[in-house]
Structures are given as structure tokens and as C-alpha cells.
Amino acid sequence: MTKRTLPTLDLKRGYARIKDEIDVAVKEVFESQYFIMGPTLSAFESDVERYLEVPRAIGCASGSDALLLALMALDLKPGDEVITTPYSFFATVSCITRLGATPVFADIDGDSYNVTAESVLSKVTERTKAFIPVHLFGQMVHLEKMRSELEGKGIAIIEDCAQSFGSWREIDGAPVRSGSYGVMGCFSFFPTKNLGCCGDGGMVVSRDQALADRLAKLRVHGAGTTYYHDEVGLNSRLDAIQAAILRVKLRHLDRWNEERRAAADRYKLLFAENDLLDLVTPPSEDEGNYHIYHQYVPRVQGDRDGLVDFLGKEGITSRVYYPVPLHLQRCFSFLGYGEGDCPVSEKLSRQSIALPIFPELEADEQEWVVSTIARFYGKN
């Protein structure tokens, strides 16, 4: 008898729902033989511009490149400082150090896992050139509490939206999409994202036309016209096949995000029904936020790593995002940070666990996950 298993994300289930649409879209690209740049990419960029209500969207090769291109467009140089979070994926900070600039870490809120205005503003110096907020796990940072002060000092806000395509926050009585509030927004289309392609892919959006024009050149080796290079850029293009796939998926994204939200609500109810709320703290959704639950990450008491192992032995995959905060990573030791410098991030790195969540997740599978957690804690 085959052992029952559950991954954190089941891409096969998602593909099965839209297989016919994907097949048609990819076939059209092959029939056109227009694989790099071209009309399919332009059409997807236009789709994103309408969805996010931004003037320009520029496809690129990955979310990591999106961040790097954004900082290159700001002419970041050695000696410049960029404020960001220590509780994120590696690319959030590597893009800063690759250009010789200095990351400055602002600690996070223990409920939302996002940086706070207070922590960010306390880190501003005369050398601060940019701030990279990460809309972690699918909900937005409270940017309205700091944008005026930061931009008043000439500090650019570059939103890291790798985990938040489709999320929004109510600001001044209106919904503001992730990526549309700062001067630039950077997205990843890695296959596991809420809007994911079938390979690597990324995008930078901007409300500044001059920056957008420069980004469009930087992604093609800095060339304004083919073989005429204004500066040294990157070879970082979103190919037409990935753009075609993303056009299809974008049409379904809002429904999928609603299904993720329903799964998150169900987890919270199940934790309560299994008398686990003293041991498992569900992720919070800040007032005014539309959380899309790219990951479902509660905090747990006791032996978190033991729980991960216990779930795995039962066939349930869980993950830890992130086991070592960025300020404590060996490669960034030259920055001089140590234990205790970002205490909330450090605490969460010991307590957080990512449980399975995806649009097609079944109620009985969630019941299995939560009942297994209850058994680990001796609740049943």
C-alpha cells in the first residue's frame, strides 16, 4: 500500500486545472518562433501594468535579477547604505553587496514578520540610498507610515514583492497593489510563487518613466539600440514561453489567492478545534491588508525541528523559512552583526514552520496536518 504523502505545494494539481490553456499558449509561441522579447512578452507586460495599475512593467530573467537591476538603475555604489530586513530570502541582500553597497538590517514585527516603520526610520543615515521592504509570505509592509519621510530624504523605496503578487493594502481609503507604491517593485515568477512560470522569471515595475526606460536598457546589456551600448547592463530577459504561461496564470490568480485565503482560515479553525492555540500561533493578517498566503507560517512552541521531523515521518512535508536570519549568515559576517542584534528575527527563525498551502489543498488534508501536530504535542 502506498504511503500517504502531502507536499508543501503540489504544482501538478495546479497544472491539471489549466493544462489545455497552457498547451494552446505555448503552441502559439512555437508557431511564431519568437522566443526572446517580442509580442508575447510585451502583451504580458501590458497585462501586469493593467493589473497593478502601474505605468511600466519590464520582464527579466529572475526575481534576483529584478532586485539587482533596480539597484543598478539607482547607481548604487560603494559606501551607500540600503536598509532591509534580516528575515527574508538571500537575494534580498545579495543584490546590495554585489554592487559594493552596505546592507543595514532593521528588525521585524513578531506578528506580521515584516519590518516596522519605527525600526526602518531608526536606521536612516546620511548614507542611506534605498530601502527594500519585503512583503513577506504574502502581506504588505506598512509603507504609508514611512514613504513621505524616506522620499523626503531622497531614499528610494524598492519593494521586494517576490512573495506577494496579488496582495494589496488599503491606503487612504483605496486598495494599493503590492509593487505599485514604491518607486520600483520587484517580482519573482519562480514556479512555486502564487504567480509562477515553468522556469526562472522576474519583473520590475516602476512609476518613474525615466527609471523604467533605463531598466529596459539594463536588461539587454545596457543597449538602447541593438549593438549600441549606453552602459554595461545584464543579459536578463523574460522569454516568450514563460510570458505566455504567465499570461494564462494571471487570468486565474485572484481566484487562486482566494482559495489560499480560505485554506488559511481553515487552518486557524482547526488549530482551535484541536486545542492547539496555546502551542501554535497562526500567522496574523494586519488590518487593511489582503494577505495572499504565499506561505502559511505559524509559530510553534517547544521543539520546532522535532515537529518538522515528526511531520516528515508521517508523510507531511513542512519547511523552515528561515533557519538563519541574513544578518547571521557567514557570508555577511564582515558586516559585524551578531546574536541579539535583531532579536525578533532570531526568535522567529527558531519558532516558525511553513505548512502545506496551495489553492487545491483539500480540507481533509488540512485536518490530517493539524491532527498530526496535535499528536506531536500529545493533544490526542
Q: Which H or E element spans position 71?
A: helix 63-73
For 359-380, give the DSSP string.
TT--HHHHHHHHHHHHHHTT--
User: What are 359-364's contacts with CB under 8 Å, separation 24+?
Assistant: 359/14, 359/255, 359/256, 359/259, 359/260, 359/263, 360/10, 360/13, 360/14, 360/17, 360/259, 361/10, 361/263, 363/266
Name the 3-class secondary structure at 138. Answer: helix
Q: Which H or E element spans position 160?
A: strand 156-160
Measured distance CA(250)–CA(59) in Å, rounded? 14
Active-site choice (129, 193, 217, 249): 193
For 243-308, give the DSSP string.
HHHHHHHHHHHHHHHHHHHHHHHHHHHHHHHTT-TTTEEPPP--TTEE---SSB--EE-S-HHHHH
Instruction: Spell out the residues 6+ positions from residue 150 whose beta carbon is closer than 8 angstroms to its own.
Output: 120, 121, 124, 131, 157
Q: Is 378 left (phi over 0), alpha (psi -120 to 50) or beta?
A: left
Percent helix, strand and coil across the chain, each to the nearest 5 = 40, 15, 40
Report DSSP state, residue 107: -
Q: With CA atoms as reference, report the closest residue to 58 among 168, 202, 240, 189.
A: 202
Whether 244 and 28 have beta carbons less than 8 Å apart is answered as yes
Whether 70 and 204 have beta carbons less than 8 Å apart is answered as yes
The answer to whether 313 is a known catalytic residue is no
> Catalytic positions, please?
193
